[in-house]
Amino acid sequence: MPSLVIIDSECANLNSVYRATVKAGLQPVISGHPDEITGAKAIIFPGVGSFTHAAQVLSKKGLDKVIMKVILKEIPFLGICLGMQLLCSESEEAANTAIKGLDLIPGRVKRFPSGLPVPHVGWNRVVPVVDHPLFSGLPAGSYFYFTHSYYVDPCHAEETLARTAYGFSFTSAVFKNNVFGVQFHPEKSGPAGLRLLSNFGKIIAGQRQK
C-alpha cells in the first residue's frame, strides 16, 4: 500500500498537488479507491469549487465514510482549500440544504462579508498562532497563494493553527490531533508551499516511527 495518497474526489486539480508533493520529497499516489486510501500511511485531501457539490460527490462515492475511517486510524491528514472547509460541520454555501461537512473540525464555513472583493485571490501572509511542526522553518508572515470566497470559523479557538488578514483576521489553517487543514494552496505557493509540504512529510515520517 502507498505511504501517501492524494484523494481523487473529482473536485480538485490533482496534478499540481502531485507535482508539488514530489518536488517536496514525498512519494504520493493519486487514488479514489477506498482500499488504497484506507491502507495509506498519510492522506492529502485537496479540493476546489463548491462545498455543496463536493460534499455530494463524497457521499455518492462513499468517500466521506472512507475519510472518517482513516482519520480514526490517527494517520496524518492534510486538507487543502475546499478540502479544509469540508472538514468543518457546515457551510453557508449549503445553508438552504441538508448537506453537511465531515464535522472533524467543529465550525462553520462563512462567506466573506459584503464590501470585501470576492473571491480573495492572490498572495497573502499566513501567521501561525502556535508553534507547530507544519510551519517549521517558515518565518511568521510568510506569503502563500489563496483563491476562495468562503473562510473557516472554528468553534474552538485552540483548533486555529494560523491566521490571515483580509479585511479582518480569519483562520487560514487548522489542526486537531492528526488532522490539518490549510485554506491556501501550498502547491501554488512557491518555496514556502514546498517547505510546508516537506514539513508534512516529516510529520508522516515521525508518525511511522511511533
Residue 149's CATH number: 3.40.50.880
Q: 90: left (phi > 0), else alpha (psi -120 to 50), else beta?
A: beta
Cell of 141: 508572515
SS3 content of the chain, % helix, strand, coil (to 5): 35, 35, 35
164 strand-pairing partners: 170
Sequence letter at residue 11: C
- Set of cell numbers at residue 139: 518565518
Contact in structure between 100 and 89 (CB atoms under 8 Å): yes
pTM of the predicted model as reported, rounded to 2 decimal places: 0.95
pLDDT over 90 for what percent of the chain? Answer: 88
- CA dist., res. 82 & res. 77, Å (int): 14
**Residue range of the domain that includes 70:** 4-208
3-state secondary structure of 147: strand
Domain count, the chain: 1
Which runs of consecutive H residues, i.e. helices, occur in 40-175? Answer: 51-61, 63-72, 82-85
Q: Is 175 helix (H, G, I), strand (E, B) or coil?
A: strand
Q: Is the pLDDT of residue 53 over 60?
A: yes
| 155-187 pLDDT tens trace | 999 999 999 999 999 999 999 999 999 999 999
pLDDT digits (tens, 9 = 90+) for 80-137: 999 999 999 999 999 888 899 999 999 999 999 999 999 999 999 999 999 999 999 9
Q: What integer pLDDT is reported at residue 49 of this predicted model?
A: 87
Residue 142 near residue 125 (C-beta atoms within 8 A): yes
Active site residues: 81, 185, 187
- pLDDT band of residue 207 (cuts 50, 70, 90) is low
Confidence of residue 208 (pLDDT cuts 50, 70, 90): low
* Rounded-to-integer distance, Cα 147 and Cα 135, Å: 20
Q: Above 90 in pLDDT, residue 3?
A: no
